[in-house]
Amino acid sequence: MPLSTQAYESLRRRIVRLDLAPGDVLREETLQVEFGIGRTPIREALQRLAREQFVTVIPRRGMFVSSIDVGELSMLYETRAILEPYAARLAAHRGTSAEWSEMAEVIAGADRPGLAPEDLLDVDRRCHELIWSAAGNRFMTDTLDMLYAQSDRVWHMYLAEVADTRHAVDEHREILEGFRAGDADRVAALVEAHVRSFDDQVREAVTSRLPSPLAG
């Protein structure tokens, strides 16, 4: 794996998990020392993060971890609501029994006792990754991977302590049944509902944090 990709994946994970919070400064020199690599791969990683809107570049001021604009949550949802079901349709036609067996193993892992919500979110992500892989369209996969990471970041900001992550995993059990039956219409509808459920939880959490217009 190229050094720039390693740095990109590490930084993106830290941004998503809020180890690097919105507004934190990202200095190339500091990151070079931390990762033990040169300026070019660090710069390439930061440029990629900027293209994906995880990092904001302000001329003459530097690079900062991007904020999460509540007003853009609807755009994030509507984009995923179109692409995720379409990917599921492709996967229903192109996926193999081996891929669905792997998905079943991933879901079964969620039954282990003592799993934290973070662990269950990893199960959810892996299920999505298997669907994207089965869809067989790398351009779509790259886009969906970025969108999921943005959603993951929103989850950590608003839902980490309250979301019913196990319910999301249970939804994948039903989605898997649809894939094994080769029912493209069903899996598309289930995946869309799965994405909508996440959006509904986020909206509820965001609304509960907003001050009442009658306050004061």
Lowest mean pLDDT among 76-80, 112-116, 182-186, 206-210: 206-210
Output the pTM of the full model.
0.87
Q: Are 106 and 62 in contact (CB under 8 A)?
A: no
What the block records as the tokens of 89 is 């349709």
Lowest mean pLDDT among 111-115, 166-170, 193-197, 209-213: 209-213
d(CA 179, CA 95): 8
Given this model, what pLDDT does residue 209 score?
67
Domain boundaries, the chain: 3-65, 70-209
Instruction: Give tens-digit pLDDT for 11-60.
Output: 999 999 999 999 999 999 999 999 999 999 999 999 999 999 999 998 88
Instruction: Give tens-digit pLDDT for 7-20.
Output: 999 999 999 999 99
Q: Are 95 and 51 in contact (CB under 8 A)?
A: no
Report the top-level CATH class of 3-65. Answer: mainly alpha
* Check whether domain 70-209 has CATH 1.20.120.530, yes or no: yes
Instruction: Give tens-digit pLDDT for 80-114.
Output: 999 999 999 999 999 999 999 999 999 999 999 88
Angle formed at CA 58 by CA 54 and CA 63, multiple of 5 degrees: 50
